[in-house]
Amino acid sequence: MKRSPGARLCATAAMGALSLSLLTACSDEGSKDTADSRASSPSSAASSSSAPAAKPLTTAELEKLLLAQGELKGYKVASGDDTLPASKSRVKTDKPACDPLAWATAGLAPGDTDANASNSVSEDKASAATAQPTDLADAFDIDMTYVGLSSYAGDGAEKAMKAVSDGVTACAGGYGLTGDGETTKVTRTAAEKGAAKGDETVAFASDVDMDGEGTATFHTAVVRKGNTVATFYTVNFAAMAKGGEMGGVPAAVLDAQVAKLK
């Protein structure tokens, strides 16, 4: 018997930021691959020749650098406190080299630092708020980008970027992922090319098993500016439930966030 979109959404929820809101949606059997623009599938840019000299930022300082409500037209911003894993201990893989990839998809620091802040930036469809969806899946037809900022001392940011880049290669054949008790299988990872952002950019695609009913492709971008690293991971729950390819990180979100970094 073919399983419902909601069931498949639940089975793959670990690939996104696992939260009470997501788990509630799953229990109710809820589920665009029409993002206005892709994140240009940025690839790895040349690293600077010397380690960043600036003092690492604190978590409180990083929170002030996150995009805030009203700063990006057409999008609304929500705190990551209730929608993203609180710590790396809640996101695990079966291959240590793949950990930075999993952390990047969950708004967590891909490198060794305790300075980390995150939020979510989603399409604002307020004008369609009174529309009656044909089914519950339509209510999930929205692109949501999980954004994480982390800051490092010395060359820590560069090491974090290398860990992500190395992870893309080491995890080409996939890995198992568990987040907040939800388990799924990433079947493939591959580097993506495109315009570079900040001082250094690594982008990759991940194919995720959709509960035995094919795979869906997700896109992640990781950008370094000085000693700050920003991670971007976009999901569309309606598209996720159907399988296939997710839209990339919206360029508007990526550009606006990188522009705020010091």
Structural domains in the chain, CATH included, are 5-125+141-260 (3.40.1000)
Q: How far apart are CA 45 and CA 222, in angstroms?
A: 11
Length of the chain in residues, anyone?
Answer: 262
Given this model, what pLDDT does residue 179 score?
80
Return the structure tokens found at 31. 């589920």
Q: Where are the beta strands (DSSP E) in 21-110?
A: 75-79, 91-93
pTM: predicted TM-score of the whole model, two decimal places: 0.79
Return the structure tokens found at 36. 């206005």
Q: Nearest-CA neighbor of 87 among 185, 180, 171, 160?
A: 180
The residue written with tokens 């000693």 in the block is 227
Residue 12 has pLDDT above 70, yes or no: no
51: confidence class by pLDDT, cuts 50, 70, 90: very low
List, for residues 92-110, the tens digit of each pLDDT value: 899 999 999 999 999 999 9
Eight-class DSSP state of 148: E
Return the structure tokens found at 131. 């529309």
Residue 28 has pLDDT above 60, yes or no: no
Across the range 17-33, mean pLDDT stands at: 37
Given this model, what pLDDT does residue 96 score?
95
Q: How far apart are CA 237 and CA 183, in angstroms?
A: 17
241: confidence class by pLDDT, cuts 50, 70, 90: low
List, for residues 69-92, the tens digit of each pLDDT value: 999 999 999 987 666 788 898 898
Q: How far is CA 31 from the centre of its chain?
A: 18
List, for residues 143-163, the tens digit of each pLDDT value: 889 999 999 999 999 999 999
52: confidence class by pLDDT, cuts 50, 70, 90: very low
Residue 8 has pLDDT above 60, yes or no: no
